[in-house]
């Protein structure tokens, strides 16, 4: 049934996207070119609607049973709230504050109605950390944070859809190993719906997924990651962060840039990962494929990470963080004035010269 549902969702996404494209032009859900954006003509957005309709078809066929009584309807309801938020933004360009509040509402629906939260983390050397009164804020922060991370990386044709698909493939694959049937079913449906949409969204794109797609995929990925890695060891808690390494790191560096430059966190710029790679001389298609490869490497790293010992995991993460630091410094993802590793290396060279 999973294979048949995958094919049906994939075909549904392919067949319905052209109609969504026409609808986007009719209702004014279009993206105008400007100096910050890469495209040079008016493009329809609203692609998230095609992904959501295909997703609904899949869950109606499979009717997956969630681990908690109310989790499934709460997840779908929260996804609908996020979708509507994205559609309204695609049409009317909502303010960052309104979008943020609606994202929090969707997250709270999952937490309070669905019972999806992270109450504690087991420590690697016995004991555990109970979040207590911080359970809800931490869970909401995770959902809203990942939702926006996927949205922020949506800057090139097919980029967010491809990165999301790779993350979903990794989460679904690990769910198969762990025997989490619900996450497997939801993951399969989302992968098929997103990959089908990629036929029209990959460079040169005929339609953008818009905030309706990026926010919906980010929301679903964040919730499925919670369900797949809920209340586990602190070392394993790193796994979903690794899987989403590309969008999360890009978001963190964007926050650092904006705080350093005293700009609002919602202020756009042209220093995201894809902008930096484009500046190095790579073409649009090459940049997207390169970031796909990075996402796949993070997914593979997450799988390898789960197979190591505690100390092996600690060493692995240390090396990975150093590699990320060196990479972002070399491609210009962060300003030279606040590159910590370069400052340390400069201090070492100064001492040697003395």
SS (H, E, C) 262-302: CCCCCCCCCCCHHHHHHHCCCCHHHHHHHHHHHHHHHHHHH
What span, in angstroms and rounded, lies between the C-alpha atoms of 98 and 85?
9
Query: Is residue 62 very low, low, confident or very high in pLDDT (cuts 50, 70, 90)?
Result: very high
- Chain-centroid distance of CA 91 in Å reads 22
The reported pLDDT for the residue numbered 267 is 72
- Chain-centroid distance of CA 74 in Å reads 20
Residue 99's nearest CA partner among 212, 194, 23, 209 is 212
pLDDT digits (tens, 9 = 90+) for 93-119: 999 999 999 999 999 999 999 998 888
Residue 342's nearest CA partner among 324, 328, 329, 332 is 329
pTM: 0.87
| CB atoms closer than 10 angstroms to residue 77 | 16
The reported pLDDT for the residue numbered 39 is 57
* Residue-averaged pLDDT of the chain: 85
Query: Is residue 239 very low, low, confident or very high in pLDDT (cuts 50, 70, 90)?
Result: confident
Least confident range from 199-203, 281-285, 307-311: namely: 307-311
Q: Is the pLDDT of residue 5 over 90?
A: yes
Query: Is residue 334 very low, low, confident or very high in pLDDT (cuts 50, 70, 90)?
Result: low
What span, in angstroms and rounded, lies between the C-alpha atoms of 151 and 160?
7
The reported pLDDT for the residue numbered 40 is 65
């Amino acid at each position: 049934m999973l294979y048949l549902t995958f094919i049906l969702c994939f075909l549904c996404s392919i067949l319905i996207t052209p109609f969504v494209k026409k609808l986007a032009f009719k209702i004014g859900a279009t993206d105008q070119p400007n100096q910050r954006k890469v495209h040079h003509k008016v493009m329809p957005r609203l692609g998230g609607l095609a992904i959501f309709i295909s997703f609904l078809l899949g869950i109606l066929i499979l009717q997956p049973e969630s681990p908690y009584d109310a989790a499934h309807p709460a997840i779908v309801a929260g996804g609908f709230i996020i979708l509507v938020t994205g559609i309204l933004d695609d049409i009317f360009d909502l303010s960052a504050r309104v979008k943020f509040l609606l994202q929090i509402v969707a997250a709270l629906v999952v937490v309070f109605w669905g019972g999806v939260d992270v109450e504690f983390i087991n420590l690697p050397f016995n004991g555990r950390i109970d979040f207590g009164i911080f359970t809800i804020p931490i869970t909401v922060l995770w959902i809203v944070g990942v939702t926006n991370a996927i949205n922020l990386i949506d800057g090139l044709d097919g980029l967010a859809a491809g990165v999301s698909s790779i993350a979903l493939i990794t989460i679904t694959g690990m769910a198969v190993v762990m025997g989490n049937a619900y996450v497997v079913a939801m993951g399969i449906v989302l992968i098929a719906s997103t990959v089908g949409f990629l036929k029209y969204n990959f460079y040169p794109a005929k339609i953008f997924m818009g905030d309706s797609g990026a926010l919906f995929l980010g929301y679903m990925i964040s919730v499925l990651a919670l369900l797949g890695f809920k209340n586990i060891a602190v070392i394993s808690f790193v796994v979903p962060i690794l899987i989403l390494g590309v969008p999360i790191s890009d978001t963190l560096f964007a926050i650092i840039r904006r705080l350093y430059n005293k700009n609002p966190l919602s202020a756009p710029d042209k220093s995201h990962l894809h902008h930096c790679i484009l500046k190095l001389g790579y073409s649009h298609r090459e940049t997207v494929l390169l970031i796909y490869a990075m996402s796949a490497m993070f997914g593979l790293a997450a799988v390898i990470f789960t197979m190591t010992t505690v100390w092996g995991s600690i060493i692995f993460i240390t090396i990975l963080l150093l590699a990320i630091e060196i990479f972002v410094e070399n491609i210009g993802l962060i300003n030279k004035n606040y590159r910590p590793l370069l400052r340390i290396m400069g201090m070492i060279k100064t001492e040697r010269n003395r």
